[in-house]
Structures are given as C-alpha cells and as structure tokens.
Amino acid sequence: MFVDKAKIEIAAGRGGNGAVAFHREKYIASGGPDGGDGGDGGSVILVPDPNMSTLMDFRYRRKYAAQNGEDGSGKRCKGKDGQDLIIKVPLGTVVRDAESGAVMADMSATESFVAAKGGRGGWGNSHFATPTRQAPRFAKSGLPGVSREIILELKLLADVGLVGFPNVGKSTLLSVVSRARPKIANYHFTTLFPNLGVVYAGEGSSFVLADIPGIIEGASQGAGLGHDFLRHIDRCRLIIHVVDVSGFEGRDPCRDFDTINSELEKFSPALAARPMLVAGNKCDIAAPESVEAFKKYVEDKGYVFFPISAAAHEGTGELVKFAARRLRELPPILTYEPEFVEPEREEEGEPEINREDGVWYVDGGWVERVVSNTNFGDYESRMFFDKVLRERGLFDRLEELGVEEGDTVSVCGLEFEYKR
C-alpha cells in the first residue's frame, strides 16, 4: 500500500532531576554538598532514508517517544543522558507542525533533523553552595522534552512529471523510456499511486520521471483521485502533458488539454506555470488531420509538441532527449524553506496572576519550575525561593496590581502571607 501522508505524535525525553546529597567520608567532617546533575533527555531525530518509498510504517504506529534522562546521584555523579530516538523517513518528506501547518524541514538531502529536543537535566545541589549557603538542601528538577504532533508529507524527488487524463498512456510511456514496470491495463485508473523511473537520455545524461495517477475534470472538488497525488509533482522542474490524440474514446484532445491545465491551476498556480512539453500519444492509430489540428492548437499557445506512440516506441526518443536538454537550462529541484518558529517553552513564560475572594493566585509559567525545585522544609531553600521570585519581578507585578501587606498569596497552591 502506498501511503504518502501521515500524522504522528512525538515526545522528547525529560531531563533527569538533580540530586541533593552530601559528602560522607571517614575522617572528613562537613564534606559539603556533592549532588550530581541529571542527564539530558533524548531527542527525536528524523533521518532521510533513500531505501524507503512510502510512509506505510507510520500507518499503524502513531506515537513515538525518546528516553528520559536519569537522575543525578551523590559524589557529583551525573545521570545518564536519555537515548535519542531515530525515525527514518523517505527522501523528499516535508515535515510540518500539525498545529500551525508551518514547514519545519524538507528531508530532501542527507542531513538529519531534530524534530523534538530533549529536556535539559537539572542541577544538583553542589551548584548552589555559596559562602553563606554552605549546605543547600535543594536541587533543580529536569526540564520536560518537547512534545508535538507533526505531519509527514511525501513529495517525490522527480525532475519531470507526467500528467494527463486516465488511460492516455502515461504508464506505458514510463515503462518504455525507463526500467520502471508500472501496472498497465486498458481501463481507467489502472495506476493508483505514483511511479518513478530513471530515464537515460545518452551518456552522462539522465533524469527521474514520475508518473502521476490520472486526474479528471472536477478533481479539485474530489472527483476521481482528486488532488491527492499532485503534491508529488510540486518539485518537478518540467511537466510532460500526455494527451490521447486518437479520439478512440470519443474525447476531444483540445478540451482534455485545457481541462487538465485548469485543474493544475486550481491546485497550484506555481505548478501550472512550470515549463511544459505536450506529448500527443497514440498517433499511430489517430487520423493525421486530428494530430495536425491538435499540434497547431498547442503550438499557438506557445507549447512544444511531440507526436508519439508509446506502445509502438515511436517518437519517445526525441521527447526524452529534448526533455534532458531542457532540464539543463532549468533551476534545480524545488526545496521548501523552513518557516516554523519554535514556541517559547511554557515553563519560561510569565505566570498568570488573578485575585478571587481576597486571595492572589499565581500559577503557570516559570513559577511552577521554581516551586518544584524548592524544599520548603529547609530555611535556606525557602530564602532562595523568595530571592528568585523577587529578582524575576513577581513581587513588583503583584504590587502594581495592588497587593497589600498581609494579603494571602497562593503560588501554585502554596499559600503565603505577603510581606514587603
């Protein structure tokens, strides 16, 4: 089964907590704090794999999580870092943030991409020792890793894309000019997923050709296969529009040509503006006057026309050689520039302050992390807590909002009497 779009949840590992420990050794009094730092959480890393051709692996597994970092321990021993989670994706996969739809990365090259970064490990109590605070009984907890939903969208890396109505001979043309072996039969929608083939146009000259399943009139409203597979020619530098000029099915080649171009325009104006060659297929069974009429019609619109018969191998060599020469004049395959901006961690945002029934409630933001790092049973730890709140401007904010001495302030569920 060909799967070219998937939505998955990824979660990086949480950083380990710092340790609260004191040096204990015979004949050494007051050894001091020696709590080690927590290990960093593992990250989720996407790696392009040229041997993958579909996102089928993500159809049945939707959640991926990296390993948490281990907590620190005594003797200043740092916790073990969490192991990174490596996820392989096909070359050409575009990674988007599910919430905003912004492009995070284009996996068109060999570089890996960190989709979710692991949380930092917390500091052990050895970091908080000062001449006046020689035995700190608190440490920092580890930061949570990034968690998000992402959309993986496969866009094939092809130089040339074949478009046209169903049953016009696109798959036959691909099989003739390359070693690809797509399914070929005399009925519509034989091709149900894109096929790729490498075309050799002479010594040192080759390109990748993509056969896109046929679209029909009304595809933009979901008719036929809709626009499901047009994303695979988004990157193509050149389009070959294959038209059945035989009239065997009672169709008008000129109308078919305009219909497909209209559907391309509705899908993407940029795609419709790409350089296009027109291949009039089945010329061996078409009336010569019909071929000439269609040739004049497309050439009047500024397109280069090639009369071919894919089944009889007629005219395909000239088409391939001209396409190869044209590609040498065109810019490289399109890549998508990242536009995603990593949002500020919730723990680093400002806390919310509300007043209800005479009580000031402070919740969220960086305050939650400070509370989690504080040992309220230890005097020095409480003094450190007070110092952090004052230095980060929380008391100034409360006073601007009208807090009075003696008011009750609830910080993440812990109530205090406010004093200036």
DSSP H or E run through 381: helix 379-391
Mean pLDDT of 159-172: 87
pLDDT band per the 50, 70, 90 thresholds, residue 216 = low
pTM of full prediction above 0.85: no
pLDDT for the residue 337? 87
Q: What is the pLDDT of residues 377-404, one digit of tens each?
A: 777 778 888 888 888 888 888 888 888 8
Q: What is the pLDDT of residue 376?
A: 78
Is pLDDT at 292 greater than 90 in this prediction?
yes
Q: In what order do the strands lie in the sheet with 103-107?
A: 63-65, 5-11, 147-154, 93-97, 103-107
The upper half-sphere exposure of residue 221, i.e. CA atoms within 13 Å in the direction of its Cβ, equals: 2
pLDDT in tens, 53-70: 788 889 889 999 999 999
Q: Flag whether pLDDT at 236 surpasses 50.
A: yes
Would you give the distance in Å from CA 112 to the centre of its chain? Answer: 12
Q: Evaluate whether 1-153 and 160-329 have a shared fold.
A: no
Mean pLDDT in the chain? 86
In contact, 91 and 50? CB cutoff 8 Å: yes
Residue spans of the domains in the chain: they are 1-153, 160-329, 346-417
Region 180-209: mean pLDDT is: 71
pLDDT at 222: 58
Q: In the CATH scheme, what is the homologous superfamily, with its name and number, of domain 346-417?
A: GTP-binding protein OBG, C-terminal domain (3.30.300.350)
Return the residue matching tokens 């999580």. 65
- Residue 401: how many CB atoms within 10 A of its CB? 11
Mean pLDDT of 230-237: 80
Calculate mean pLDDT across residues 241-248: 89
Kindly state the average pLDDT of the residues 203-209.
83
Domain 1-153 classified CATH 2.70.210.12?
A: yes
Please tell me the CATH superfamily of domain 160-329, with its number: P-loop containing nucleotide triphosphate hydrolases (3.40.50.300)
